[in-house]
Structure 1
């Protein structure tokens, strides 16, 4: 469904986790400057005397959540915070919904404690997988952190999705919920009572645990991230495999994920089966738009974890570890962590208006390393989290194709994850996963490009 400009702009305002800004982002490697394109110069990063995160001059952070701290529901804040999004609460507060990438054996990282005593404090019917041979299988899930209207003063937090595992990334919906994705395809048996590999919806305004319902139409595979298309009828999905696909689901009812839909995979129209990874030879050039189409995939619940193989046979393009995915102004941006000749990452865009796909950035291993979670900034740039061996950064990517560091973790070998902006665009949130820290970053960010 095509929309007029004003309707489309409203959709963008709603679609970025409640961030009330419209995006000017429309390509990276070949666009010329426009009146909406921000010229960003944050300057050099300065050493952090607190030993947490280096930022440019004029910027500061506040630690707003820590692994292991007590929560309002009597549970413990889980470890390994990953993807997240910020939503405007109906009471003027900010609600930050955060994934936690824990596996069943990670009881010491979960919300219930090593002895699982926390299970006695909750409604067990709201735990997706409470365990097979032993209780406590799903140690992942989400927390919801409620912040004051300033966007960085914590008020309370609680577990909002329980019994899932390896909740890595996901994405916000325009109707105010978070899609939490499991990065696993483990089957029921042993410690697990249920199959995993699903997407779950977590309404941001919900207090306490949601009823966990796997959105089976969105496929069963090693999910990473999700983004909603411009008309609420399309969900785009990434997959963390070396030979992954880029998926979408055409919903039967716009905005109604539980109503199901048709799972599809992306095909380069003139080159079925194209290997976009550029590992052996360059098959995809940056700055060029390639015509794309979509092929239907049946049996999305995929008990044999064979969706990508069936997609390959049907001509779907091959990507290198699809990870972060975010919507902005009619395009869907997604990162491929190990793509490119250096295997250090690629960023693609799928442009909904003309159904084309474009390689925006391919890393040489220096300016950007192993791009992972990403988001669209209020001023129109992409903000990309690195997930590499050490010294991970937040990297900005301008519409003109310039790359710049916005933050760096020089203090421990942990990925940065979950970058997203507050509803008013004034605060950037990010997780330092291994440290178990969630930060709120403020400073002289450029003004929004919203018109």
Structure 2
């Protein structure tokens, strides 16, 4: 980490009305400029926000205007829904969480991509399916695909199903030591909903092993919890896996899994929920102050694989009974700067106008949290950003900590009451963007706009060499229109904070 990375998101103590991370921005900006100079990077233009204004930009390989980007940035389209893959399977629908790993050849990267397919059991529409493979649920419709990409040309060298037999694979995270991908089911459906097995689990997709026509066996890691999973992030010092829960309409928890063996998650371990020390059921959803440091402890989930079909308490209910903290719709999760960063899609005091949830909570425009693991205690929780309104940030979902110490947030505008048009996307009512948090200024800025349709961005991740930002456009989760797409974005990253 550079000094810029280490100073990026803490050390600012007060909230401002404009939604910047906290106070002392001028001093912090000067310090950051000095750090960039020390690192051999150009200092930021003090008058430029992010990378400058956006403009509608055609894809290099198709000519379609699908994104708006800053000047100097370009993109190609990869893995569009319906494209035949190397294993003969058509690229599935619903492109969601994703990570990038070193490829098998020089100047390549390997992407492992989730598909959040939400069709009925066994439906053939956009299904992730390889006949004869070792599938957890024979009727499963979702899973993952793997793409080997040439970083210079953007060409897909090969792509194939790497896991199937699961459902609603939303997000996930890298395994310890980057050995592969942990893919998560965002559901607790099971036999009562027509599936042959219980769902709501995490599955391993090894980096090495799956090949075209030979996906990885899909076996659930039941000790890591059965709940509506979103994303995970591993602390490389301890091997602890931090997990977010995307519950809609009721409180959600932030979890960690302490494995017996970080290299063998199937060997079991202990699942815990975050609790703010000295406060029972502390409500993180509203009334928070950016920069405040909250001491953390952890409560054990006694039954991580509850029999929900027969009325067992959910993991969330177990954690809240022991005083666990309440969040709203926890989504993206990523390790960076010796911390775990994660989103609350609908947290915050500025409200989006939607109807209250089951417990009366009224949704906000979103929060970004930082959990700093403790070496001698349970750690510290810090709210690093809370959106003051839809123009700044509307419903953050997946996130990634960038090579230069910033954060990129994928919007998923799920609000129904507050229309969200954009001048670069005429005709669209709910427009989704990539919003970045600038560690130099402590402010959010637009980096990209989806001008093609109203589906969310997802799966943002940088290639291992930092030259390419990969990101998905979800498309439809139950039909072929609009299609899912993966973008590979190149440009003058050194000109700004990402």
* TM value normalised by structure 1: 0.87
**Aligned to 1:184, which of 162, 167, 187?**
187
1:31-110 alignment, distance < 5 Å: 32-33=28-29, 34=32, 35-36=34-35, 39=44, 41-49=50-58, 50-92=64-106, 93-105=108-120, 106-110=123-127
Q: Deviations over 1:342-366 (max 9, x none)?
A: 2111110001146100111111222
**What is aligned with 1:116?**
none
Deviations 1:91-140 (Å, cap 9, x if unpaired)?
3331100000012425312135xxxxxx5xx323x11101xxxxxx2111
CA distance in structure 1 between the aligned counterparts of 2:190 and 2:462, rounded to whole angstroms = 35
Q: Which moved more, 1:211-220 or 1:168-177?
A: 168-177
CA gap 1:22/1:424 in 2 versus in 1, 3 angstroms: farther
| Larger RCO, structures 1/2 (Cα 8 Å, 6+ apart) | 1
Q: What secondary structure, in the 3-state scheme, does the structure 1 residue paired with 2:487 have?
A: strand
Partner of 1:6: none
Q: How does 1:48-447 map to 2 (within 5 A)?
A: 48-49=57-58, 50-92=64-106, 93-105=108-120, 106-112=123-129, 119=130, 122-124=131-133, 126-130=134-138, 137-150=139-152, 152-173=154-175, 174-189=177-192, 191-206=194-209, 207=211, 208-241=214-247, 242-278=250-286, 282=287, 284-304=288-308, 306-341=314-349, 342=351, 343-353=364-374, 355-365=379-389, 366-388=391-413, 390-399=430-439, 400-434=441-475, 435-446=483-494
Q: Please, which runs of 5 or more residues in structure 1 have no aligned partner? A: 1-8, 13-20, 113-118, 131-136
1:44–1:332 distance in 2 versus 1, CA, 3 Å:
same
Computed over aligned residues only, the root mean square deviation of the Cα atoms, in angstroms, reads: 2.3
**What SS does structure 2 have at the residue aligned with 1:244?**
coil
Q: Which of these two proteins has the greater Rg computed from alpha carbons?
A: 2
1:167–1:23 distance in 2 versus 1, CA, 3 Å: farther
Question: Cα gap change, 1:190/1:47 in structure 2, threshold over 3 Å: closer, same or farther?
Answer: closer
How many equivalent pairs are there? 413
Distance change (3 Å), C-alpha of 1:256 and 1:30: farther
Decide whether the 8 Å contact of 1:181 with 1:223 is kept in 2.
Answer: yes
Contact in 2 for aligned 1:67/1:79 (Cα 8 Å) = yes
Whole-Å separation in 2 of the counterparts to 1:441 and 1:141: 25
Q: 2:417: which partner in 1?
A: none
Q: For residue 254 of structure 1, report the CA deviation from its aligned partner.
A: 2.6
Change (3 A) 1:95 1:30: farther
Alpha-carbon contact 2:50-2:447 (below 8 Å) kept: no
Distance between the aligned counterparts of 1:409 and 1:175, measured in 2?
Answer: 30
8 Å CA contact 1:100, 1:167 repeated in 2: yes
Q: Are the counterparts in 1 of residues 50 and 438 from structure 2 also a CA contact under 8 Å?
A: no
Deviations along 1:6-65, whole A, 9 cap, x unmatched? xxx6xx9xxxxxxxx977644343572434467463000102353201000000110011
Matched position secondary structure for 1:52: strand
Q: Give the Å deviation of 1:285.
A: 1.1
Say whether the 8 Å CA contact 1:429–1:441 is kept in structure 2.
Answer: yes
SS of the residue corresponding to residue 191 of structure 2 reads coil
